């Protein structure tokens, strides 16, 4: 909890942390309306998966450009610009009248989110280097906190009865707080490193980590996108409960990330990834019982399991010798969002051809693969 106290007591750390929260407030508000959008547009699960593919495609498309832009204009300035663009883009997906316009809106939303994601993670990495303070996991805790706030916002659905107004209020909250704290980090720039010619050897340490990132971030995205639909169609939950899986997932992920920096320091990166994957597997087993309450608990446990894995991956990616922090983070984010890119399409077709439960069985198998990867990571770390 030391890193959480650090964030709450110092505007220099709270400003970047609120950007993390902001991104998930926007994304989470979109996500809780996914079942309603599917119903309104009259599209199948597979078609919905294709639409979500364009969100991920937008994220993935910006990655090759992001590090160059960030290094040119400065990481602090890039972060503030990124969150403003994300707020603008967030207004469109909930107001589209058809499938084509939905895919275009999601592509723009994904591109702005992807740029902000790399900027904010690079920003935290650079501040950690400057101040010799660790708060990456707690910053990701604020990302999860943003998801909790978005999940709580699902209770406004029957009150507002207007998804466009709901998103506008979310954007208003995000921007009003960010404008107060922009000045705390806008002048931060990436520390210069010794320039080296491109070498695969520099990126080699990131390859296995990138594979873990692919699976974990893909699984996180799948739960955000499909948990509401699972509770609606498989667990037969009432409409007021559709957002509960997402809320539970984000709530325990938030808790885990606020505790993550101290736990990681105590047991090490590899062990925390292994522990997280075991908890996620247990969570998936509970989801697959299909019981409404056990499924909600399962989504929550999965959030706890995944909570500290991704922050650890970003911290590693931003501190590889001979690689600029923005490039290392872009590599980890790129492999992770590749999971977002192909995951919704694959899971959508699995759900269409077999069942939504089959999609979650696939995700559980992926968590088993992450657990297996930790044995390779341990072997490499002991050499």
Tell me the per-residue pLDDT of 179-194, one tens digit each, with 9 for 90 and over.
999 998 888 887 665 5
For residue 196, is pLDDT > 70? Answer: no
| pLDDT given for residue 159 in this prediction | 84
- Position 362 in a domain: yes
Share of the chain above pLDDT 90, in %: 29
Q: Do residues 333 and 206 lie in contact, with contact meaning Cβ atoms separated by under 8 Å?
A: no
Phi-psi region of 290 (alpha: psi -120 to 50; beta: other; left: phi over 0): left
Confidence class of residue 109 from pLDDT cuts 50, 70 and 90? very high
Rounded to the nearest 5°, which phi and psi values hold at 288?
-75, -5
Element (H, E) at 106: helix 99-131
- Position 195 in a domain: no
Confidence class of residue 2 from pLDDT cuts 50, 70 and 90? confident
Position of tokens 């303070």?
133
> Residues near 197 by Cβ (< 8 Å), separated by ≥ 6?
none
* Of 67, 120, 334, residue with least CA distance to 206: 334
The CB density around residue 5, as the number of other CB atoms within 10 Å, is 13
Q: Give the tens place of pLDDT for each residue, 205-252.
A: 667 777 888 888 878 877 877 888 889 888 888 877 888 888 888 788
Return the SS3 of 57.
Answer: helix
For residue 174, is pLDDT > 90? Answer: yes
* Of 262, 261, 34, 241, residue with least CA distance to 136: 261
Q: Do residues 48 and 326 lie in contact, with contact meaning Cβ atoms separated by under 8 Å?
A: no
| Residue 280 in tokens | 């996620």
| pLDDT given for residue 201 in this prediction | 61
Q: Do residues 226 and 350 lie in contact, with contact meaning Cβ atoms separated by under 8 Å?
A: no
| pLDDT given for residue 326 in this prediction | 66
Find how far residue 9's CA is from the centre of its chain: 25
| Mean pLDDT, the chain, integer | 84
Find the mean pLDDT for residues 288-313.
89
Find the mean pLDDT for residues 49-78.
85
For residue 357, is pLDDT > 60? Answer: yes
Find the mean pLDDT for residues 109-134.
89
Say which CATH number the domain at 92 has.
1.20.1250.20
- Position 166 in a domain: yes
| Torsion from C-alpha of 135, 81, 148, 17, nearest 10 degrees | 20
The distance in angstroms from the start CA to the end CA of the chain is: 32
Find the mean pLDDT for residues 107-128.
91
Q: Give the tens place of pLDDT for each residue, 318-342.
A: 666 666 666 777 777 777 777 766 7
| Torsion from C-alpha of 175, 25, 251, 275, nearest 10 degrees | -100
| pLDDT given for residue 88 in this prediction | 96
- Position 198 in a domain: no
For residue 316, is pLDDT > 60? Answer: yes
Handedness of CA 72, 73, 75, 78 (dihedral sign): negative
| Buried/exposed 187-199: b ≥16 CB within 10 Å, e otherwise | ebebeeeeeeeee
Find the mean pLDDT for residues 356-363.
89
**Predicted TM-score of the model (pTM):** 0.75
For residue 203, is pLDDT > 70? Answer: no
Domain hosting 372: range is: 2-186+203-381
- Position 191 in a domain: no
The count of structural domains within the chain is 1
Return the SS3 of 166.
Answer: helix
For residue 158, is pLDDT > 60? Answer: yes
Q: Give the tens place of pLDDT for each residue, 124-147.
A: 988 988 888 878 888 888 987 888
For residue 35, is pLDDT > 90? Answer: no
For residue 123, is pLDDT > 70? Answer: yes
| Residue 166 in tokens | 């709901």
The CB density around residue 53, as the number of other CB atoms within 10 Å, is 22
Find the mean pLDDT for residues 249-278.
83
- Position 322 in a domain: yes
- Position 192 in a domain: no
For residue 52, is pLDDT > 50? Answer: yes
| pLDDT given for residue 198 in this prediction | 46
């Amino acid at each position: 909890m030391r890193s959480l106290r650090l964030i709450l007591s110092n505007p220099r750390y709270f400003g970047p942390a609120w950007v993390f929260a902001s991104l998930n407030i926007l994304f989470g508000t979109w996500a809780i309306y996914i079942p309603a959008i599917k119903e309104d547009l009259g599209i199948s699960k597979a078609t919905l998966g294709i639409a979500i593919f364009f969100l991920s495609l937008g994220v993935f498309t910006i990655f090759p450009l992001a590090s160059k832009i960030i290094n040119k204009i400065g990481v602090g300035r890039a972060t503030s610009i990124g969150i403003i663009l994300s707020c603008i883009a967030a207004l469109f997906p909930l107001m589209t009248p058809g499938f084509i316009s939905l895919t275009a809106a999601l592509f723009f939303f994904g591109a702005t989110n992807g740029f902000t994601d790399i900027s904010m993670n690079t920003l935290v990495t650079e501040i950690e280097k400057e101040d010799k303070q660790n708060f990456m996991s707690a910053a990701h805790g604020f990302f999860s906190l943003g998801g909790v706030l978005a999940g709580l916002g699902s209770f406004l659905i029957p009150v507002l009865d207007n998804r466009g107004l709901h998103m506008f209020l979310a954007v208003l909250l995000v921007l009003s707080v960010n404008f107060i704290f922009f000045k705390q980090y806008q002048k931060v720039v990436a520390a210069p490193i010794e320039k080296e010619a491109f070498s695969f050897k520099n990126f080699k340490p990131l390859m296995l980590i990138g594979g873990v990132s692919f699976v974990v971030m893909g699984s996180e995205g799948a739960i955000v996108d499909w948990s509401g639909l699972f509770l609606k169609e498989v667990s037969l939950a009432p409409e007021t409960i559709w957002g509960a899986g997402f809320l539970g997932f984000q709530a325990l992920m938030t808790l885990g990330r606020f505790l993550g920096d101290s736990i990681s320091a105590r047991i090490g990166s590899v062990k925390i990834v292994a522990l997280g994957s075991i908890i996620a597997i247990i969570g998936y087993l509970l989801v697959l019982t299909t019981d409404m309450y056990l499924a909600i608990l399962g989504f929550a446990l999965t959030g706890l399991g995944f909570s500290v894995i991704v922050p650890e991956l970003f911290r590693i990616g931003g501190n590889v010798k001979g690689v600029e922090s923005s490039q290392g983070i872009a590599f980890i984010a790129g492999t992770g969002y590749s999971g977002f890119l192909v995951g919704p399409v694959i899971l959508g077709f699995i759900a269409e051809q077999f069942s939504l439960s089959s999609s979650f069985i696939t995700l559980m198998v992926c968590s088993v693969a992450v657990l297996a990867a930790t044995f390779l990571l341990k072997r490499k770390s002991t050499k």
